[in-house]
Amino acid sequence: DGGITQSPKYLFRKEGQNVTLSCEQNLNHDAMYWYRQDPGQGLRLIYYSQIVNDFQKGDIAEGYSVSREKKESFPLTVTSAQKNPTAFYLCASSPGQETQYFGPGTRLLVL
Amino acid sequence: DQQVKQNSPSLSVQEGRISILNCDYTNSMFDYFLWYKKYPAEGPTFLISISSIKDKNEDGRFTVFLNKSAKHLSLHIVPSQPGDSAVYFCAASGGGTGANNLFFGTGTRLTVIP
């Protein structure tokens, strides 16, 4: 089945630790995105990539990093510089048109 | 500054009646609008979209209306069903705002009462 997978479903981060969230899609979409959702708020864009080996910062990129070495994969690293990492992280992909399709999300919690 | 606003955080509707969810935007460059439905701890699911060249788009029980002069769009669900209970996000994208980037509202929680 075609779709977007995110792993893990839950992730715990210790103080000062970097953690990486996985996002994979087999939809052959060119563009991929990472969003963060906090309670009572909409989705805010962290990073996006329109093509392999290229990515751009979104509205809240500080404390995060990404890579796009393969078309189907767009991992997000939450670094120790991100002081408030607890949130629900959503990955999306798009065939280049405006509609984006989302994965199931990863909830990140700080120990 | 929030460019897409959903001013009603919640809405309750009786089963079988119409649900109307509203969304306002401030950026006149937006030219494509979408509605997503989201259950807790899941990713948003795409529902319906509309281009700025149209003022209405229908898909089954869901209709989206766009009023460009008022910078307002709405989602109508008729008839409402208990399974429609979820948080609904509107989103917008458009030229000059970053290719295909979506700007989301804060969501409206719809509860359909059986």
Q: Is A25 on the interface with B (CB under 8 A)?
A: no
Opening angle at CA A47, ends B10 and B9, nearest 5 = 5
pLDDT higher than 90, residue A81:
no
Three-state SS string over B37-91 comes to EECCCCCCEEEEEEECCCCEEEECCEEEEEECCCCEEEEEECCCCHHHCEEEEEE
Q: Tell me, what's the pLDDT at B97?
A: 53
**Does A103 contact B106 at a Cβ distance shorter than 8 Å?**
no
**Does B93 contact A90 at a Cβ distance shorter than 8 Å?**
no
For the segment A6-19, the average pLDDT, to the nearest whole number, is 91
Cβ–Cβ pairs < 8 A, chains A and B = 62
Q: How confident is the model at residue A42 (pLDDT cuts 50, 70, 90)?
A: confident
Give the percent of chain B with pLDDT over 70: 94
**Does A56 contact B100 at a Cβ distance shorter than 8 Å?**
no
Closest CA relative to residue B106, chosen from B49, B25, B48:
B25
Beta-strand relationship, B10-14 and B108-113: parallel
Return phi, psi of residue B74, to 5°.
Answer: -140, 150
For the segment B34-60, the average pLDDT, to the nearest whole number, is 94
